[in-house]
Structure 1
Amino acid sequence: MRIRVREIRGRRARRWIVFGAIAFGSLFLVVGLILTGVSVSFLADAERTSGTVTALEWRRDHDSGTRTKRMSDRRVAYPVVEFVSADGTTHRFRDHTGSNPPSYEEGERVGVLYRADSPEDARIDGFASLWLLPLVFGGIGLLFAGVGTAVALVTRGRPRPTA
């Protein structure tokens, strides 16, 4: 009797873990799809021009993890780009994607995407600026939802042991 209770509790715990993995993965997949839609929408309306990296804005990247102080306070370079919009106005923006080592150098020419109705909403025309977050969220979501679903399917058809 005691063994049977443990088996039932173990199965229930596994079901909740599998359900949690599928739910977590599905949530991340949805966020990845939403971010992909935002990038696609931005690309559909964006004007293209070129700009120049005028500066690298170094900021501290504060991780909330339990890594050492040295790792959690590393400095990350965000490119500051200046470009001229179609109406001849000069605009300046800091890209949302930073890295260490820097992905760009001061004085480097880069492609710029911006919305004509709001040129302050501009991005560097590059993979990281447009697709990094959708790929990270979608990839993590696919991994968790896929593994959770596979485990659920494999363990579903197993016969239950009799006591």
Structure 2
Amino acid sequence: MGDEAVEHALSVFKYGLMAGLLVGAALVVWRRRLLLGIGLGALAIAAAGLYGAGSIAVQRVIAIADTVGTQGTLIEHIAERGTDSKGRTTVSRVPLVEYTAADGRKLRVKGLGGSAPGKRPGDAVAVRYSPDDPARARVDDFQNMWGIVIAFCVFSLLPLLVGLFFTRMALRFRGLPGA
């Protein structure tokens, strides 16, 4: 259950962000339309984010249809270290879950940091895996399955609201220079 759709959505969002900024700047500088520039630029950014959310959601629904659910067992929470954008070291607790595939093999999958917070080693954890490749698995909880979709929606909400507000204002005052 790879994350090619997430990588694609992030690329689209990155280019949507650049396009939104360019469209907004072009309208502000060349056409002297500040409100319309802000509005349409923000709407372009929101559209890219909502496209990302939708494409990931569709991919997840298709991926879920081709998987098998099983009960795994939480082995432990692993401390994973990373570095944030400012160079600081961060630590997150990642659940390590063992599950048994239909062919009898015992496999392990890591969840996202912070998922399964109330679980202890030995507790049951739902897992989904591909019957064609049982090593391709994902912890079957809301954060691991749908968290990225919600994140894209949340990050698109502010640009959407800003875009709607400023575009409406631009249409209302469209006759004023620099508006």
Output the TM-score relative to the length of structure 1. 0.79
Query: Structure 2 unaligned runs (5+)?
Result: 1-27
Q: Is residue 2:121 matched to residue 1:113?
A: no
The runs of at least 4 consecutive aligned structure 1 residues that moved more than 3 Å come to 8-11, 100-104, 159-162
Percent identity at matched positions? 28
Name the Cα RMSD after superposition: 2.5
Is the Cα–Cα contact under 8 Å of residues 43 and 163 in structure 2 kept in the other structure?
yes
Displacement of 1:150: 3.0
CA distance, structure 1, for counterparts of residue 147 and residue 98 of structure 2:
22
Is the Cα–Cα contact under 8 Å of residues 35 and 170 in structure 2 kept in the other structure?
no
Query: Structure 1 unaligned runs (5+)?
Result: 1-7
**Larger RCO, structure (CA 8 Å, separation 6 or more):** 1
Written as runs of structure 1 = structure 2, the 5 A alignment for 1:137-156 is: 137-156=152-171
Residue 105 of structure 1: SS of its match in structure 2? coil
Output the TM-score relative to the length of structure 2. 0.72
Query: For residue 109 of structure 2, what is the aligned residue in structure 1?
Result: 93
Match of residue 62, structure 1, among 83, 88, 92: 83
Which of the pair is proportionally richer in strand? 1
Count of residue pairs brought into register by the alignment: 149
- Higher CA-based Rg: 1
CA distance, structure 1, for counterparts of residue 113 and residue 50 of structure 2:
24
Query: For residue 18 of structure 1, what is the aligned residue in structure 2?
Result: 39
Displacement of 1:103: 5.1
User: What is the CA deviation profile of residues 98-125 of structure 1, one whole-angstrom value per residue up to 9, with x for unaligned ones?
Assistant: 1289453322211111110111111111
Is the Cα–Cα contact under 8 Å of residues 76 and 100 in structure 1 kept in the other structure?
no
Query: For residue 148 of structure 2, what is the aligned residue in structure 1?
Result: 133
Query: For residue 78 of structure 1, what is the aligned residue in structure 2?
Result: 94
